[in-house]
Amino acid sequence: MVERNDQEAPSAPQHSPLEERVGRSLTRIARLAARLLHASAGVVYFGRPRSGWLRLRSWYGDAGEWSPLDIATLAALLSTKDLQVFPDTALVRDSPVSVTLARRRVRFCASAAVKDEKGENAGVLYLLDRRPLKPRPPQIAALTDLAAVASEEVWLWNALVAFTENSEGLSSSGRRTPELFESSSNLFYTHDLSGRMLSANGAAERITGYSRSELVDMHISEVFAPESREEARQMVLELCGGGLPAARRLKLRHQSGVETEVEVSVCLLFEHGLPRGVLGLVREAASPIGRGADESGQSR
């Protein structure tokens, strides 16, 4: 759900297909976290630093009489730390969190920070219940892991917004990469719906072995190992069929022949409401494997 915090917020804001999909994904994360800790409500709240009035919020469970201002206030209080757990807020005195929760008679609260692309706290995944709860350490660890998943979802969404704000459409600027992409150590790339590469950021040569000029006009399948090409194609087909963005582990083939396991995320690029291409993110996930590497893991 996207909210506007300015004074004349529209009653029925329009959401892009990507915002709707990310919102559904974050709601699932909030629901899963609430179920794992047996809490009655879960919230993912993330502020987009590029536009102070825009917020991405997903709520699951008993909303009660919480207003958007209540949610934003509590998120601001909780997002200052990586992890906070209040088994019973009635036992915490003089805490802004407990004071805020007391207005709604909330006894339990747990939160884990949602990070931005720089690793800084920019949002929060938090759970609420009107009963005191005592989560076990494995449950708290799961909350932290789910917050990391939420961070990846909103970071990819934020990166895509940055991409579209810096372009006038895929056809005219698909070969440009905004500063957000250029400064990343991960590989960002775009290709059209046929798989023809359009652009890549500065990490391309280090990760793939190909220069950016070489990558342009190559087919995206050429950077993956043969056994991963069909799965990479299926990721895009699932998005075109209405599926949610998801990360998968695939094998990337370096120009030298070294195959490395990487984590790949993709989402659709839209122009005039229609899918026109794909934005991909590749994270290095493992040491080189297969042909082109010796027993010590070093490339020949």
Structure token digits, residue 293: 């590497």
Tokens 């005219």 correspond to 172
Residue 117, domain member (yes or no)? yes
Q: Residue 160 has what pLDDT? A: 64
If asked whether residues 82 and 181 sit together in one domain, one would say no
Residue 272 pLDDT exceeds 60: yes
Residue 256 pLDDT exceeds 90: yes
Q: Residue 3 has what pLDDT? A: 36
If asked whether residues 157 and 196 sit together in one domain, one would say no
If asked whether residues 186 and 133 sit together in one domain, one would say no
Cα–Cα nearest to 5, from 71, 65, 63: 71
Cα–Cα nearest to 161, from 49, 4, 246, 242: 49
Domain boundary among 104, 133, 161: 161
Q: How confident is the model at residue 67 (pLDDT cuts 50, 70, 90)?
A: confident
Residue 168 pLDDT exceeds 80: no
The answer to whether the CB of 213 falls within 8 A of the CB of 230 is no
For 100-135, how does the pLDDT look when each residue is reduced to its tens digit (9 = 90+)? 888 788 899 999 998 877 778 878 999 999 999 999
Residue 142, domain member (yes or no)? yes
Residue 52 pLDDT exceeds 50: no
Q: Residue 91 has what pLDDT? A: 86
Residue 264, domain member (yes or no)? yes
CATH code, domain carrying 189: 3.30.450.20
If asked whether residues 234 and 127 sit together in one domain, one would say no
Residue 153, domain member (yes or no)? yes
Domain boundary among 161, 191, 217: 161
Number of domains making up the chain: 2
> Which of helix, strand or coil describes residue 199?
strand
If asked whether residues 19 and 149 sit together in one domain, one would say yes
Q: What is the mean pLDDT of residues 162-168?
A: 52
The domain of 233 spans: 168-289
Q: Is 240 exposed, middle or buried (0-12, 13-18, 19+ CB in 10 A)?
A: exposed
Residue 297, domain member (yes or no)? no
Find the range with the poorest average confidence among 32-36, 100-104, 180-184, 225-229: 180-184
Chain centroid to CA 87: 28
If asked whether residues 156 and 200 sit together in one domain, one would say no
Residue 138, domain member (yes or no)? yes
> Which of helix, strand or coil describes residue 106?
coil
Residue 294, domain member (yes or no)? no
> Which of helix, strand or coil describes residue 194?
coil
Residue 66 pLDDT exceeds 80: no
Q: Residue 149 has what pLDDT? A: 87
The CA distance from 174 to 197, in Å, is 9
**115/11: higher pLDDT:** 115
The CA distance from 137 to 143, in Å, is 10
Q: Residue 169 has what pLDDT? A: 45
If asked whether residues 16 and 146 sit together in one domain, one would say yes
Cβ density class 112-143: b for 16+ within 10 Å, e for less: bbbbbbeeebbbbbbbbbeeebebeeebbebb
Cα–Cα nearest to 27, from 10, 46, 13: 46
> Which of helix, strand or coil describes residue 5?
coil
Domain boundary among 101, 132, 161: 161
Q: Residue 165 has what pLDDT? A: 53
If asked whether residues 87 and 207 sit together in one domain, one would say no
Q: Compute the mean pLDDT over every residue in the chain, rounded to the nearest whole number.
A: 76
**11/284: higher pLDDT:** 284
Alpha helices by DSSP H, the chain: 17-37, 68-78, 96-102, 137-165, 170-173, 179-182, 204-208, 212-215, 226-240
If asked whether residues 107 and 50 sit together in one domain, one would say yes
If asked whether residues 153 and 180 sit together in one domain, one would say no
If asked whether residues 218 and 262 sit together in one domain, one would say yes
CATH code, domain carrying 8: 3.30.450.40
Q: How confident is the model at residue 183 (pLDDT cuts 50, 70, 90)?
A: low
The CA distance from 108 to 138, in Å, is 17
Residue 13 pLDDT exceeds 70: no
Residue 48 pLDDT exceeds 60: no
Q: Residue 254 has what pLDDT? A: 94
If asked whether residues 148 and 108 sit together in one domain, one would say yes
Residue 125, domain member (yes or no)? yes
DSSP H or E run through 200: strand 197-200
Find the range with the poorest average confidence among 45-59, 117-131, 152-166: 45-59
Structure token digits, residue 291: 């042909």
Alpha carbon distances (Å) from 283 to 186, 204, 214, 244: 5, 11, 20, 19
Q: What is the mean pLDDT of residues 280-286?
A: 78
Longest dimension (CA), the chain: 64
Q: Residue 19 has what pLDDT? A: 67
